[in-house]
A and B are shown apart, each in its own frame.
Chain A
Amino acid sequence: KAGVTQTPRYLIKTRGQQVTLSCSPISGHRSVSWYQQTPGQGLQFLFEYFSETQRNKGNFPGRFSGRQFSNSRSEMNVSTLELGDSALYLCASSRGQGGQETQYFGPGTRLLVL
């Protein structure tokens, strides 16, 4: 079974631009969560989608948004990029929505904002 895939793997943008990251979950998984990983703040939860609905949201500004499609694929968008948005963005999928579910992580998209 193929794992979680994320595209692109690397991205360089300049301040003020916007970016869209994509995540394809494991087949049969309906929940997709996004995390931001930085050296200073560590791993922080961005949001979770289940059945095309945002179910949970972390403490990030409205510039960070996401969506989920009917095939469970998910995208996240960051508008008006800031230098501090440079990070590794990780997507994770799980079969269901309970806290006991194992989340399977993709390799991440490394975003550099110049």
Chain B
Amino acid sequence: AQSVTQLDSQVPVFEEAPVELRCNYSSSVSVYLFWYVQYPNQGLQLLLKYLSGSTLVESINGFEAEFNKSQTSFHLRKPSVHISDTAEYFCAVSEKVGNKLVFGAGTILRVKS
């Protein structure tokens, strides 16, 4: 069985400041790792995913996440946030077979002007 821990329930940050949203996972098998974002009253959208290869993955809107196997972590970072990044962010894992995503509890990112 897998589990995902998002260490911060809320992260307030000023606009143009850097941010890191932390995610740790536990699994007895190899997994794929994902970050999803949920804007108010909407479904989830994929931000980025790690399948294999380079441990640093990037999204098109400036977010990046680094897979650290030894620390079983997949932290999400952005060097400079915008007001529009205000949303809830979910870290998730999936086994290599099947489509079952196991989600963390979510981190609400609040960007203040």
Same complex origin of A and B: yes
Instruction: Give the residues in chain A near B86, CB-CB below 8 Å.
Output: none
A86 within 8 Å of B by Cβ? no
Q: Are A105 and B103 in contact (CB under 8 A)?
A: no
Task: Give residues of chain A (39-69) contacting chain B, Cβ–Cβ below 8 Å.
Answer: 42-45, 48, 50, 55-56, 58
Interface size on A, residues (CB 8 A): 28
Q: For A35, what are the chain B residues with a Cβ–Cβ distance below 8 Å?
A: 101, 103
Interface size bucket, B side? 20 to 34
- B98: contacting residue among A48, A90, A104, A106, CB under 8 A: A48
Query: Judging by beta carbons under 8 Å apart, are A99 and B43 in contact?
Result: no
A18 to B99, CA, bound (A): 27
Are A4 and B43 in contact (CB-based, < 8 A)? yes
How close is A111's CB to chain B, nearest CB, in angstroms?
A: 15
B-to-A contact residues, CB < 8 Å: 31-32, 36, 41-46, 49, 51, 90, 92, 94-106
Minimum distance in angstroms from A51 CB to a CB of chain B: 13
Q: Is the pair B96, A105 in contact by a Cβ cutoff of 8 Å?
A: no
Task: Give every chain A residue within 8 A of B97 (Cβ-Cβ).
Answer: 97-99
Show the binding face of A for B, using Cβ within 8 Å.
4, 31, 33, 35, 42-45, 48, 50, 55-56, 58, 90, 92, 94, 97-108
A37 → chain B closest CB, angstroms? 9
Determine if B103 and A42 form an interchain contact, defined as CB atoms under 8 angstroms apart.
yes
Given the interface pairs A42-B106, A43-B90, the reply to whether A103 lies near B99 with Cβ below 8 Å is yes
A sample of 21 cross-chain residue pairs with beta-carbon separation below 8 angstroms, ordered by A number, consists of: A33-B100, A33-B101, A42-B104, A43-B92, A43-B101, A44-B103, A55-B98, A56-B99, A56-B100, A58-B100, A92-B99, A99-B32, A99-B95, A99-B96, A100-B32, A102-B49, A103-B99, A105-B43, A105-B44, A107-B41, A107-B42
Residues of chain A within 8 A of B46, CB atoms compared: 102-104
**Which residue of A is nearest B30, CB measured?**
A99
Besides A35-B103, A99-B100, A108-B43, 18 more A-B contacts (Cβ < 8 Å) are A33-B99, A33-B100, A48-B98, A48-B100, A55-B98, A55-B99, A92-B44, A97-B97, A98-B98, A99-B32, A99-B94, A99-B95, A100-B49, A100-B94, A102-B46, A105-B36, A107-B41, A107-B42
